[in-house]
Amino acid sequence: MAKSTSVELDPAGASNQATARRETSKKERPISRRRASSLRGEPPGDTAPSMSTMYDRQQLEGFTNTTVTTPRATAEKPHRGRKRRKVKSFFKRWRSIAVRHTWLMPLLVCLVVVALYAIYPHPSNPISAALFLSYPLPRAKGDGPDVLVQYGKGKKDFAFVAFYTIFLSFTREFIMQRMLRPLSIRAGLKSRAKQARFMEQAYTAIYFAVLGPLGLYVMSRTPVWYFNTAGMLEGFPHKTHDAVFKTYYLTQAAYWAQQMIVLLMGLEKPRKDFKELVAHHIITLALIFASYRFHFTYMGLAVYVTMDVSDFFLATSKLLNYIEAPIVIPYFMIFLGAWAYLRHFINLRILASMIPLPLPFPDAVNTQIHNTIGFAGNLTSRGFGLASPVLQPITSVSASLFPETANLISRIPSLVMEWFNTPPTFQTIGPFDLNWETQQYKCWISQWIVFVMLLALQLVNLFWFFLILRILWRLVASWGEVVEDDRSDADDSVEGAEDRKDDLDIMRKEQGVIGELEKPALLVNGIPLPEGETGVEVQVANGEMR
């Protein structure tokens, strides 16, 4: 702000005196009109207006205190800062809209991609790889029209997964905000936290209600039906697939990639098992990529189905719990059975088909290890033989009561040695060798890698199964009065406090964006001054100009 200048004026003749001084100044020194600068505005550092434009030329009547802002020369071209300010204001407004409607940005990206393809709708268009399957193989001679077209694999599949990751982000946000939020309110959920959980689980249930049966249908068209561990390895390597199989597999990859984005961006409220959930998503994405790249897609298909169907029962069980449905307890028992069967029994069968694992040592070391294990088995058998006089009464009674069980117990050492010396299904079905040229990756290295990754996934599932069993125990101990998600953050009082905190955070976030948009600006002739510039105020009060 420029320093104020005080000048004594006669209230009645102030305007005439000022006009006379200006006319005298014009006669003494002519003023040349400044040409428009190529900078399209005044250089920074010299932005103060001239003193001759700091007040109106006509006499002001009927007031005692008036503030007049400094006008700019109308002939001057618009300042570059005005354009920047308009662009900045546009982006602020767009950010405000995008914060409230999170589905708009992925929708625009999808529309742009579709528009780019529509300009030249041909397979040679690079955008085609994002919308449609790539690498179709020509039909072999003699194949009839009933033979399905096979598709290979390649780098363009990443474009397909990336586009449908964005598309699933749009569908998730749109369905949750436009369809599921009103449904959650109608269901009587008042807090934002409960509405958010309802929407998350409802969207999950909708997705897996579609992809779960589709996965079973895809499985029925392959040798894997019904979770046949031998069929997972028949015809390896599985380098080509029909359109339905490949679309299903890559769509699932896009879904789990989108779920990882949801976790990283914090779109869902973290739970107590947040670290385990992140580990689960990382393991799942690693399994998807490795199975697709190294042609273990039949095994990946079986794992997909076990996860999808159990996730559907999990999501619907939570929904019934949120709305306090009367059938929540019977349905919880159905979910418990589906989880235990699919995520543990079936997946443990897949793990069992890969053991015993080959020893990753030189042949001489492996032979020594086998000899040591054989010696330990023989020593155990001799120990049972020496202890037979002591164990004879017990074994005789057990043999008379439970003959089959006693026979099985007596055969345990021999069964262990037989199992250890029998190669697993992973080795016996199909080639078992590493050959990069023929893309034959089923070997002892891949056996260890697949086993360790599936075991890690099984450990995470066992952690969640422990939490589910704890809910079951609480349900039984309370005689069916309590059914809670053991991963919830706290009780209702703490949840209510967190709801209020979330509401305040959302309000502050929205008001912060709107406040930037509605920030008052200094106007000169109806045009806001750039940031950092200010006019010089002229106040006329009681005949004194300040």
Instruction: For 481-512, give the DSSP string.
Output: -----TT--S-HHHHHHHHHHHHHHHHHHHHH
pLDDT score recorded for residue 481:
62
Contact between residue 358 and residue 237 where contact means Cβ atoms under 8 Å apart: no
Kindly give, in sequence order, each residue whose CB lies less than 8 Å from that of residue 89, ignoring residues fewer than 6 positions away.
Answer: 517
For tokens 């298909």, the residue is: 301
Query: What residues does 66 pair with on adjacent strands?
Result: 540
Q: What is the pLDDT of residue 192?
A: 86
Q: Give me 116's structure tokens.
A: 């780019």
d(CA 251, CA 163): 10
Q: Which of 244, 297, 288, 283 is nearest to 452 (CA)?
A: 283
**Ordered DSSP codes for 186-236:** HTT--SHHHHHHHHHHHHHHHHHHHHHHHHHHHHHTSTTTTT-TTTTTTT-
Residue segments in the chain with a per-residue pLDDT below the cut of 50: 1-9, 11-12, 31-75, 489-495, 513-518, 535-546
- Residue 197 identity: R
CA–CA gap between residue 499 and residue 191 (Å, rounded): 6
Write out the two tokens for 357.
């694992």
**Residue type (1 letter), 472:** L
Q: What is the pLDDT of residue 475?
A: 86
Whole-number Å distance between alpha carbons of 255 and 424? 33
Q: How far apart are CA 536 and CA 479, in angstroms?
A: 78
What is the distance, to the nearest Å, from the Cα of residue 3 to the centroid of all Cα atoms in its chain?
57
CB atoms within 10 A of CB 365: 11
Q: Tell me, what's the pLDDT at 4?
A: 43
User: 88: closest CA among 77, 80, 76, 100?
Assistant: 80
Question: Looking at residue 270, what DSSP letter applies?
Answer: -
Please state whether the predicted TM-score (pTM) of the whole model is above 0.85: no
- Per-residue pLDDT, 365: 67
Q: φ, ψ for residue 241 (rounded to 5)?
A: -145, 160
The residues that bridge with 150 in the sheet, in sequence order, are 242
Bridge pairing between strands 65-68 and 538-541: antiparallel
pLDDT for the residue 421: 72
- Residue 72's identity, in one-letter code, is R
Distance CA 299, CA 314 (A): 23
b/e per residue 105-115 (b: at least 16 CB within 10 A): bbbeebeebee
3-state percent helix, strand, coil for the chain, nearest multiple of 5: 60, 5, 35
Quick: pLDDT tens for 447-497. 999 999 999 999 999 999 999 999 999 988 887 665 555 555 444 444 455
Q: Is 313:339 a contact under the CB 8 Å cutoff? A: yes
pLDDT of residue 356: 84
Place of tokens 């793990």: 351
- Expressed in angstroms, the distance from the first to the final Cα of the chain is 13
Instruction: Please check whether residue 328 is in contact with residue 483, taking contact to mean a CB–CB distance below 8 angstroms.
Output: yes
How many CB atoms neighbour CB 56 within 10 A?
13
Question: Nearest 5°: CA angle at 272, between 331 and 300?
Answer: 65
> How would you classify residue 324: left for phi > 0, otherwise alpha for psi between -120 and 50, otherwise beta?
left
What single letter denotes the amino acid at residue 366? N
Report pLDDT for 73. 46
527-528/538-541 β-pairing: unpaired
Rounded CA gap, 122 and 129, in Å? 10
Backbone region of residue 412 per phi and psi (left: phi > 0; alpha: psi in -120 to 50; beta: other values) = alpha
> In 387-491, where does DSSP find H-type helix?
388-401, 403-410, 412-421, 425-428, 444-477
Q: Using one digit for the tens of pLDDT, what is the confidence trace for 22-76?
A: 555 555 555 444 444 333 333 343 444 333 333 344 444 444 444 444 444 444 5
Contact present, 413 and 384 (Cβ < 8 Å): yes
| Token output for 121 | 């709708």
Encoding tokens for residue 467? 């939490």
Residue 492 and residue 498: Cα distance in Å, rounded?
A: 10
- Cβ neighbour number for residue 485 with a 10 Å cutoff: 18
SS3 label, residue 523: strand
